[in-house]
Every structure is written in structure tokens, then in C-alpha cells.
Amino acid sequence: MEQFLQVTFSGLATGAVFAIAAVGFALLWQTAGAINFAHGEFIVLPAVVMLVLTQQPVIGIPEFIPLIGGTQLVGPIPQLGIIAAFAITVPLMIFLLGYVFKRTMVDQLLEPGGDDIPLVIATLGLALVMREYLRITFGAAPQRFPSPFGNHVWNVGGVAITAIDVGILVVATVVIIGLQFFLNRTYTGRQMQATAQNQETARVLGIPVNRMVFYTFAINAALVTVAALLVAPVTTARFDGGISLGLAAFTAAIIGGFNQVRGALFGGFLVGVIQNWSGTYLSSAYREFIPLVLMIIVILWRPQGLFGRPEERVV
């Protein structure tokens, strides 16, 4: 029983990361009708940026990192450095992975009601470019990423619970609840949802559609930075880390429901737990196989995903 609880809890923690990543997929699909196959690399990039910020002085401001606290330089709060790096990285990523990505790629390739495939193919290419760029600039060797939650371990009823696991679960939960609240309970969030449902009608109602779409990309950029902060202490910072993460998140989003944030959430947790159960009770050779089989079954049985709603378009 202890083994089952241990495996399940660890799977939930892993699944929380998949969930945050999968929400990014769902958010972009819902609001902009875009699918980003570079999503895994979008998570790796902020992880690398944060790591570099904690390791090196910022160009031209050598005292900057000691001032904000490199991980090894601040005594009482060793996590301050990485948290400060996170604070710097969020706006940077909102600009780069939100604004620049939207303007230079999405706006050019995705027309309302048009074909999605060019953007899908372009993001596959973008993933390759980002991966090779990171390999050349950051290096190929994986590097340990400092945990923002420390390394404490609690033993609860024979189940080892690490601070990283708890941190991932808590932060992921807070972020997701906050996102749901924002989308459902705020004026801007409802405008974003209206934009997602029908851009033309939203425009007629006076909703600034372009701004709402940008907000979506900005939120997605912030989400991938949060995901990077949570996942990198476990996966290490490495240039090719986005492949498996992006695949797991995409699988999760498909299983849970691509057009529902709560579906992507559920899918994330489900994939994390199933991976661990498969590895433990069958063989680790089935860790990624079983979720993919589940994905195929879901597509055949319920194409909109377990929590998704059927979509139809008039052409």
C-alpha cells in the first residue's frame, strides 16, 4: 500500500507539471485556434535563462546577481536567487514567447477560419531551431537546476514527500485556480472567452480582439515560465528536455480535452499517474506507451477528449 501511495503521489507531482504545460496547449487552442508544437522548447528556454541568470553576472552590471542573490551567495534564503531570476524571466518571456511569437509567426500563418496546418508545421520547425540554438549557446550537457522549494523530505505514513513535489503541487494548483478565476470571473477573462468563441461577434460587441489574443499568448508565456521553474529541478536544464515534456503535455491535452482548460488539467495529472503506475506495475518500458495507447482510445471513443466539448465549424 505504501508503494502504491508513493508511486501515486510522485505521479501526481509529475502530472502537475504536465498539467501546467497542457493548459498552455488548451489556452492557445481555445483562444487563438493555434497549436504550438514548440511548447516543450518554450518551457526549456526560460529554464535555461533562469539558470544562466543565477550563474553569471548580467552583461554590463557585474554586481547585479550578487545584489539580487545568486543561489550560492545569499545565506538565509538560498532560493532567493532563483526566485529573483524567475521574476526577471517572466516579462522577458512574455515579450519573446508571447509578443514576438504571436507577431512573427502566428499572425503571419494563422488566419481566422483558415488552415491550421502551416502553423503546426512552422512550430515543429521552430522547435528544432530552438533546440539547436540552445545546444549551441547553452551547451549540450544537462545542468542541475536549483530548487525554489529546497530539498526537505517529509515521511508521511511511509510515503516520502519532497519539498519539490509539494511545491510543484501547490504552485500548480494555485496557478490553475487563479487562471480559472481570471478566465471565468473577471471582465477581461470573459472578453477573452468571448474572443475564443467567436472573434467576429466579439469584435462587433466592442471587444478588443487583438489585445485579447495577445493576452492569451502572454499568459501562456508566463505559464511556461512557471512550468520551467517547477520542472527543471527535476529534469535538469538541458537543451533537448522539451521533447519528452512537450509530448507528454500534448498527450495530456488530447486525453483531457484540447478545448477545455480543466480537461487539459485532468489529462496532465492522469498521464503523470499512469506513467508511474505503468513503470512500477508493468515495466518502465511501458511508461510512455500506455498513455499513448490511452490517447488513441480517447481519440477513437471521444475525439473531443474526456472533458472537452465537441467542436464543429461551418465552412
Partner 1 sequence: MTEKRGNRLLALLAVLTLLIAACGGTGGEEGTTTSVAEEATTTAGEEAETTTSAAGASTTAAAGAECPHENNSVFLFAPYEENQPAGVNWRAGIEHAVADINNEGGILGCTVEVQFEGTQGDPDIGRQVVAEGVELDPYAILGTVFSSVTIVNMVEAQNAEIPQFVGAEAPDITNREVNGDNNFIFRTSFGGDNAAPKLVEFMLEEGVQKVDTIYKNDEFGAGGAGAHRDAMEAAGIEIGEEILVQPDQLDQSGEVAQLIASDSDSVFVYMTEIETGAFLDERTAQGLEKPLYGGDVLTSPASLELAQPGAGDGAKSHSNLAAGADVFADWRTAHEEFHPGIEGVDHNNIKGYMSVHYVKEMTERLGGFDRLALADQLHCATITVDDEPGVLLDVTFDGNGDLDRESFILEVVDGVGVVAASAPPLDNLSERGC
- List interacting residues with partner 1 (CB under 8 A): 2-3, 6-7, 9-11, 14, 35, 37, 116-117, 120, 124, 128, 131-132, 135, 139-142, 144, 151, 153, 155, 160, 162, 234-236, 238-240, 243-244, 247, 250-251, 254, 258-259, 275-277, 279-281, 283-285, 287-288, 292, 295-296, 299, 303-304, 310-315
- Smallest gap from residue 185 Cβ to partner 1 (A): 27
- Exposed/middle/buried for residue 188 (C-beta within 10 Å: 0-12, 13-18, 19+): middle
Task: Please state, as a whole number, how many other Cβ atoms lie within 10 Å of the Cβ of residue 121.
Answer: 12
CB of 301 to partner 1, least distance (A): 12
| Distance in angstroms (rounded) separating the CA atoms of residues 273 and 12 | 6
Q: Which is nearer to partner 1, 94 or 261 (CB)?
A: 261
Among residues 272, 275, 253, the alpha carbon closest in space to that of 22 is found at: 253
Residue 202 or 288 having the CB closest to partner 1? 288
Among 246, 32, 232, residue whose Cα is nearest residue 149: 232
Q: Could you tell me which residues are beta bridge partners of residue 143? A: 237
CB of 188 to partner 1, least distance (A): 25
Q: Which is nearer to partner 1, 38 or 90 (CB)?
A: 38
- For the CB of residue 71, give the shortest distance to partner 1 in the complex, in Å: 12
Beta carbon nearer to partner 1, 225 or 251? 251
**Contact criterion met (CB below 8 Å) for 261 and 179:** yes
Least distance (Å) between residue 195 CB and partner 1: 17
Q: Based on CB atoms, which residue is closest to partner 1, 200 or 311?
A: 311
SS (H, E, C) 289-304: HHHHHHHHHHHHHCCC
Say how far apart CA 16 and CA 10 lie, in whole Å: 10
